[in-house]
């Protein structure tokens, strides 16, 4: 990092000649906005301090957490291959409305992006692309729970669409959530984010072959929200 400046909200988790890993805040796009290209986005903000960067994967604008960028064309090729071959392990934490009867569940339903008037990803058994998400309950509250979601595929809005298919909605998710969340302390709603956080990412280093795991702490408000849900 060598004293280079980056936006205060974009905490750098790891940096070397091949990789840059940041904790993306909710409300910031990974790439330029198609409707408003002048809005700030991760790539433009970071390239000021780190030079040319290659996007390897994306997080939805409203999702926070671990975002990996490549710092060379060679690293980009290697990481792309790892993603294509499903050798990357992505773990998300989701705070959802609802408390399912199951403790662990795998959802294997084909998804089609841009499938309705609201441009949502929809389950489409005929025309959808294969999608698999593994879910596990981490903590239960009264009318909510904290889930871990591990997507094996990387479809647009995959976790949000698969949870919606189970009748579960992520707190603060205005697109898939249906009714407004009934949490008085719903900080995500006010901040433009939602209760979906890319908690960790596991890859093989493109140059050294070393197995690496990056973990992003929760964004502001998550710990207070969880304490409130616990009745603390």
Q: Which active-site residues does the annotation give?
A: 60
User: Which among 61, 122, 62, 64 has a CA at the least distance from the CA of 93?
Assistant: 64
User: Which among 21, 60, 65, 28 has a CA at the least distance from the CA of 44?
Assistant: 28
Residue 79's region, left for phi above 0, alpha for psi from -120 to 50, else beta, is alpha
Element (H, E) at 212: strand 211-215
Spatial separation of the C-alpha atoms in residues 79 and 182, rounded to whole Å = 40
Over the Cα atoms of the chain, what is R_g? 18
Distance of CA 177 to the CA centre of its chain: 16
Percent composition of the chain: helix, strand, coil (DSSP 3-state, to 5): 20, 30, 50
């Amino acid at each position: 990092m060598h004293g280079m400046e980056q936006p205060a909200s974009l905490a750098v988790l790891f940096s070397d000649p091949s990789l840059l890993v940041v904790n993306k805040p909710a409300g910031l796009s990974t790439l330029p906005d198609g409707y408003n290209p002048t809005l700030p986005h991760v790539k433009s903000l970071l390239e000021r301090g780190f030079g040319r960067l290659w996007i390897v994967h994306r997080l939805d604008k409203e999702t926070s957490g671990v975002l990996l960028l490549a710092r060379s064309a060679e690293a980009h090729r290697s990481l792309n291959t790892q993603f294509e071959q499903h050798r990357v392990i992505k773990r998300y934490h989701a705070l959802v409305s609802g408390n399912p009867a199951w403790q662990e569940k795998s959802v294997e339903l084909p998804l089609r992006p841009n499938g309705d008037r609201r441009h949502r990803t929809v389950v489409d058994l005929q025309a959808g692309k294969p999608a698999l998400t593994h879910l596990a309950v981490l903590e239960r509250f009264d009318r909510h729970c904290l889930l871990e979601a591990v997507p094996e595929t990387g479809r647009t809005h995959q976790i949000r669409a698969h949870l919606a298919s189970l009748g579960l909605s992520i707190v603060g998710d205005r697109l898939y959530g249906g009714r407004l969340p009934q949490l008085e302390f719903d900080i995500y709603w006010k901040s433009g984010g939602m209760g979906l956080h890319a908690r960790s990412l596991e890859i093989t280093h493109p140059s050294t072959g070393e197995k690496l795991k990056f973990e992003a702490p929760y964004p502001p408000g998550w710990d207070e929200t969880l304490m409130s849900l616990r009745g603390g």
